[in-house]
C-alpha cells in the first residue's frame, strides 16, 4: 500500500493579545513567516498595490509568508495574533500559489482555540516593539525556537493541532488555488523540490533539464504550463525568498547572502533582488528587516 505522508508542519513564533493605535503603521512588510489575526475590537487595514482589507471585529485574517503588505491603524485596534513558520521537506509552501491576504468569518471554535493557545503559551508575545524593524532579528528567532524545543510533548502536539485546524479553514475557500501534484508531471515536481534543496548552488535551466533527461526547450515549456512560471524565474523567486529570510533574520552581509543563495557575485544578486522585490537589498533591510 502506498504511503500518503502529510509533509507540512508549523512551528510557533509569537502569540499574544495586543491593543494598537496609530503607531501601528508599517509599509512594504514582507516576512518569512505567517501571520494570523483575530480582531475583536476597533478597525485597521491590510493593503497592497491592488487590494485593501479592512480589519474588523469578528474576522480572521491570514497573511502567508513572503506576502508583501501594508499594516495600518488610524485610531484603535485590538487583536489576537499568531506568527508561525512553515516547514516542508521540499520547501514548497501550502500557499505558494496564494501569496495574498485571506479573510474569513471567525467561529466560536476558532476564538476558543486561539485563546486556549495563548493561555498555554504565555510570554510568547513580541514584548519589544510593534515595529518589525526592531523585532525581526536572528537572536529573537533563536530564542523562540529554543522555547519550542523546551515545550512538553503534549503541548507541542496541541500547538501543531491548533495551527492545523486554523489553517485548514483557509484551505477550504473558493479562491484558494490548490497545489495539484497528481496533475503535475513527476519530473516537474522533482525539479521544484531540487531547486528548493539546492538554493546555494548556481542552478541553470540546462542543468535542470538534463537532470530529468529532457530537451531544454521542451522542459521549459512544460515547466511553464504546469507552474505558470519559466524555470529561471522560479529559480530566482526561490533564491530571493531565501535571501529575504536571511536579510530579515541574520546580520550577514549582502555578499555572504549572495553566496548562500548561489549567486556568483553581488551585482548580479542585487539586480535580481531588485527585479523580484522592487527594492534593493539595502532598502529591504532598512524597511523590513529588524521590522515586522
Question: To 5 degrees, how large is the angle CA 69–CA 71–CA 73?
Answer: 160
pLDDT of residue 173: 79
Q: Is the pLDDT of residue 134 over 80?
A: no
pLDDT of residue 67: 83
pLDDT of residue 127: 59
**What CATH architecture does domain 9-171 belong to?**
Sandwich (2.60)
Averaged pLDDT for residues 223-240: 90
Task: Provide φ and ψ at 82, rounded to 5°.
Answer: -130, 130
Q: What is the pLDDT of residues 54-88, one digit of tens each?
A: 999 999 999 998 787 889 999 999 999 999 988 87
- Categorize the per-residue pLDDT at 290 as very low, low, confident or very high, splitting at 50, 70 and 90: very low
Averaged pLDDT for residues 141-163: 84
Q: What is the pLDDT of residues 12-31, one digit of tens each?
A: 988 999 999 998 988 877 77
Q: Is the pLDDT of residue 52 over 70?
A: yes
| Structural domain spans, the chain | 9-171, 181-287
- Categorize the per-residue pLDDT at 269 as very low, low, confident or very high, splitting at 50, 70 and 90: very high
Instruction: From residue 236, give the alpha-carbon distance in Å to each of 124, 164, 221, 264.
Output: 34, 30, 17, 13
Return the minimum-mean-pLDDT range out of 135-144, 226-235, 236-245.
Answer: 135-144
SS3 category, 85: strand
Domain 181-287 CATH class label? mainly alpha
Beta bridge partners of 38: 60, 80
Task: Provide φ and ψ at 131, rounded to 5°.
Answer: -90, 120
- Categorize the per-residue pLDDT at 291 as very low, low, confident or very high, splitting at 50, 70 and 90: very low
Q: Is the pLDDT of residue 133 over 50?
A: no
Q: Is 266 exposed, middle or buried (0-12, 13-18, 19+ CB in 10 A)?
A: middle
Q: CB neighbours of 142 closer than 8 A, spacing ≥ 6?
A: none
Amino acid at each position: 500500500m502506498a504511503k500518503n505522508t502529510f509533509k507540512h508542519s508549523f512551528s510557533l513564533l509569537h502569540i499574544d493579545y495586543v491593543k494598537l493605535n496609530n503607531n501601528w503603521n508599517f509599509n512594504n512588510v514582507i516576512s518569512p513567516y505567517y501571520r494570523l489575526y483575530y480582531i475583536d475590537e476597533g478597525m485597521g487595514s491590510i493593503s497592497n498595490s491592488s487590494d485593501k482589507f479592512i480589519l474588523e471585529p469578528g474576522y480572521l485574517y491570514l497573511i502567508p509568508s513572503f506576502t508583501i503588505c501594508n499594516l495600518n491603524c488610524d485610531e484603535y485596534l485590538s487583536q489576537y495574533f499568531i506568527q508561525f513558520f512553515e516547514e516542508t521537506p521540499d520547501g514548497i509552501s501550502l500557499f505558494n500559489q496564494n501569496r495574498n491576504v485571506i479573510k474569513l468569518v471567525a467561529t466560536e471554535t476558532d476564538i476558543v482555540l486561539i485563546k486556549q493557545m495563548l493561555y498555554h503559551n504565555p510570554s510568547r508575545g513580541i514584548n519589544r516593539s510593534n515595529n518589525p524593524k526592531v523585532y525581526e532579528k536572528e537572536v529573537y528567532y533563536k530564542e523562540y525556537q529554543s522555547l519550542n524545543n523546551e515545550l512538553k510533548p503534549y503541548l507541542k502536539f496541541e500547538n501543531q493541532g491548533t495551527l492545523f485546524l486554523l489553517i485548514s479553514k483557509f484551505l477550504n475557500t473558493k479562491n484558494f488555488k490548490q497545489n495539484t501534484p497528481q496533475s503535475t508531471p513527476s519530473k516537474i515536481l522533482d525539479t521544484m523540490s531540487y531547486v528548493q534543496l539546492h538554493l546555494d548552488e548556481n542552478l541553470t535551466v540546462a542543468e535542470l533539464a538534463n537532470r530529468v533527461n529532457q530537451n531544454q526547450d521542451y522542459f521549459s515549456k512544460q515547466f511553464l504550463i504546469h507552474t505558470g512560471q519559466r524555470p529561471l524565474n522560479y529559480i530566482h523567486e526561490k533564491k530571493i525568498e531565501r535571501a529575504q529570510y536571511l536579510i530579515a533574520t541574520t546580520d550577514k552581509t549582502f555578499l555572504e547572502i549572495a553566496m548562500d543563495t548561489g549567486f556568483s557575485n553581488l551585482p548580479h544578486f542585487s539586480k535580481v533582488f531588485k527585479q523580484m522585490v522592487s527594492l534593493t537589498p539595502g532598502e529591504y533591510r532598512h524597511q523590513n528587516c529588524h521590522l515586522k
